[in-house]
């Protein structure tokens, strides 16, 4: 065994223990009062944000909201069947892909109109349209180096995570106001909320069925990360040296997405023991609650207030554009 392993485990223990304790509290409150467990976990996490300033908790919180989340999402592949895919239909699949591309284009156009620059439009448009912070980081790697790139990337990560948290709370309310069915609600949440964690939290706060469908729709958006980032890298290749351009193409699909697809295919081709699938399903729920709670602890709304108003308008406009586009698709009966 690696001699450093005990020290690594000790470094993440405090943050994981904090997230686990808050998750258990959230589950108890949810069980006793019937409130959505994911939402309670998020709110408890936000109330303990001050603890994230301590180095003692930082690594564990990052681990709980990162690898735990991805592993939990991968396990959700066991919950879905071919019938869930057929439930969406080709019009819905096309609508999701079209909305992602339109949001990216909208971000680039509005960033130029606001004087924010193309790079910020690509970062925010991709983060809103695809998969939040992870998309922002991947797109940042494909953009040319500049003095402002790190600052713009940091703003995008903070801003998109904050808006995802707000959307997690209010989008289910908006869906009820628009009289969306359980199927429409899952599609709306999965196609509009930025980060995977918040999609999971919002979806399962409505119902297990809505959460499963929302997660599937969200992973369709995640799957678009690779072709879109490669397209951005191809555009940037014109102004980059050959070596830098080749490095921009070293992008692989997210491991948790591959895991989700593998388990989804396995669940639909092999007869698995019901005890195994049920146990892994409960494990997925526990990991997702842990991740959402840790994400709440890490989320700071104060940092966003120090950013200029133009980028905030850009990011908010992209969020509203995507939500209005998907709502329109549903209300018109296209998807």
Question: What's residue 80's pLDDT?
Answer: 67
Q: Give the whole-angstrom CA distance, residue 152 versus residue 143.
A: 11
Tokens of 27: 């589950």
For residue 246, the model assigns a pLDDT of: 47
The rounded distance, in Å, linking the Cα atoms of 232 and 249 is 10
Report how far residue 181's alpha carbon sits from residue 189's, in angstroms, rounded to the nearest whole number.
12
Can you tell me the distance from the alpha carbon of 76 to that of 215, in angstroms, rounded to the nearest whole number?
8
Nearest CA among 159, 231, 220, 212 for reference residue 192: 220
pLDDT for the residue 81: 67
pLDDT of residue 17 exceeding 70, the answer is yes
Mean pLDDT in residue range 296-312 = 71
CB 328 within 8 Å of CB 95: no
Higher pLDDT, 188 or 291: 188
Q: Quick one: pLDDT at residue 274? A: 80
Q: For residues 10 and 179, which has the higher predicted lDDT (pLDDT)?
A: 179
**102-141 tens-digit pLDDT:** 999 999 999 989 888 888 899 999 999 988 877 887 788 7
Q: Which two tokens stand for residue 290?
A: 């842990």
Q: What is the pLDDT of residues 218-257, one digit of tens each?
A: 888 887 877 888 788 777 766 555 444 444 444 555 677 6
Do residues 79 and 281 touch, judged by C-beta distance below 8 A?
yes
Region 89-110 average pLDDT? 89
Of all residues in the chain, the percent with pLDDT exceeding 90 is: 21
pLDDT tops 70 at residue 44: yes
H-assigned helices in 2-81: 5-33, 37-47, 55-65, 67-75
**CA distances from residue 116 to 108, 132, 154, 233 in whole angstroms, order as listed:** 9, 19, 15, 20
For residue 84, name the pLDDT band (cuts at 50, 70, 90). Answer: low
> In 3D, which of 89, 80, 83 has the Cα closest to residue 264?
80
Return the percent helix, strand and coil in the chain, to nearest 5.
Answer: 85, 0, 15
pLDDT of residue 93: 82
The answer to which of 20-34, 180-194, 214-228, 230-244 has the lowest mean pLDDT is 230-244
Phi, psi of 326 (to 5 degrees): -70, -40
End-to-end C-alpha distance for the chain, whole angstroms? 52
Q: Greatest CA separation found in the chain?
A: 60
Q: What are the tens digits of pLDDT across the range 2-16?
A: 544 454 566 688 889
């Amino acid at each position: 065994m690696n001699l450093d392993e005990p020290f690594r485990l000790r470094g993440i223990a405090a943050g994981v223990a904090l997230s686990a304790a808050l998750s258990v509290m959230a589950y108890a409150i949810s069980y006793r009062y019937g409130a959505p467990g994911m939402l309670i976990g998020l709110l408890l996490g936000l109330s303990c944000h001050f603890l994230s300033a301590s180095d003692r908790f930082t690594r564990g919180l990052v681990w709980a909201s990162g690898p735990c989340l991805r592993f939990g999402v991968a396990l959700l592949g066991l919950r879905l069947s071919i019938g869930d895919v057929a439930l969406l239909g080709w019009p819905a699949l096309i609508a999701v892909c079209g909305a992602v591309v339109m949001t990216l284009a909208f971000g680039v156009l509005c960033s130029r109109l606001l004087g924010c620059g193309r790079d910020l439009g690509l970062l925010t448009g991709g983060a809103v349209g695809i998969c939040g912070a992870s998309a922002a980081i991947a797109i940042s790697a494909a953009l040319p180096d500049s003095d402002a790139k790190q600052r713009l990337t940091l703003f995008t990560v903070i801003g998109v995570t904050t808006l995802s948290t707000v959307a997690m709370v209010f989008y289910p309310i908006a869906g009820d106001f628009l009289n969306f069915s359980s199927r429409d609600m899952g599609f709306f949440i999965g196609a509009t909320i930025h980060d995977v964690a918040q999609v999971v939290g919002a979806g399962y706060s409505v119902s297990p069925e809505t959460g499963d469908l929302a997660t599937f729709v969200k992973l369709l958006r995640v799957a678009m990360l690779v072709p879109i980032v490669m397209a951005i890298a191809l555009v940037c290749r014109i102004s980059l040296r050959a070596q830098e351009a080749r490095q921009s193409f070293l992008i692989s699909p997210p491991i948790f997405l591959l895991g989700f697809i593998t388990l989804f295919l396995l669940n639909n081709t092999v007869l698995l023991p019901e005890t195994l699938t049920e146990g892994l399903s409960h494990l997925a729920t526990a990991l997702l609650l842990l991740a959402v709670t840790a994400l709440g602890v890490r989320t700071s709304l104060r940092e966003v207030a120090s950013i200029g108003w133009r980028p905030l308008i850009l990011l908010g406009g992209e969020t509203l554009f995507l939500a209005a586009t998907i709502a329109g698709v549903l209300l018109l009966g296209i998807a």
